[in-house]
Structure 1
């Protein structure tokens, strides 16, 4: 597992769409965030579990403190047999213990690689399990 440093905490009022936080005890990417109409209102958050893709929803006070999930960017080096990917950090340290993600994200990574690109992927520490959550080309 990578060393992503300590996780941060933030108030619900600061959470935005695409943030990675712990929602209902699960590592989630925020898909929807509804702001309250008053200062004493509550924030409605909808997130997708980054491991199971299950949807979670919660309504929390504005000042509720949430754990954010730290991440790190790596460059794709290779797609290996068995569906694993080889990635390198900015110091040249290589790891090949992560699976190519399922779904559209995995297809996007594979397509870019098959076209000769070496895109960057973001890996988060999803409560003890490292997970690829996004991809971008260097110029994206």
Structure 2
């Protein structure tokens, strides 16, 4: 029989910490919800009554936070839906390369260069380029949910 000291245990994350349950009837427009395991912003919400012994149903329409793809779901109003933990983080912009990758610095002076401004967002790219060329203090607003991140905006930084 093996000693307890010789045994190793692998850890596996359940993913549960990335979201929390919330009753369908408590969800509101412009809040976040997981639809088909994707973090979505609720753009339309409607409640309908069903037959004599049925439950009220909530019809939810949301857009994916990262792809803008539309998702729909129907849930009994008494059931729970998972809501993602969503955070907005502002990073100081140091530089941007030709491919649109930003060099960012957080408030603890750590740097990263893995965030890319989408080619589809031409106006945001131009804003970053202009502000960097004029050497203006610039912040990148990053939205984070379910271990995914995306640049959603440009802000003026403090001098």
1:29-108 matches, cutoff 5 A: 29-30=41-42, 32-36=43-47, 41-63=56-78, 64-77=80-93, 78-103=95-120, 106-108=121-123
For residue 118 of structure 2, give the secondary structure of its aligned residue in structure 1. Answer: coil
Aligned mate of 2:128, from 99, 102, 113: 113
- Give RMSD over aligned pairs: 2.9
Unaligned runs of 5+ in 2: 1-16, 50-54
Unaligned runs of 5+ in 1: 1-5
Deviations 1:12-54 (A, max 9, x none): 3343444343211223233x2324267x523222122234432
Count residues in correspondence.
Answer: 128
Which portions of structure 1, spanning 4 or more consecutive aligned residues, are displaced by more than 6 angstroms? none
TM-score by length of 1: 0.68
Shift of 1:94: 1.9
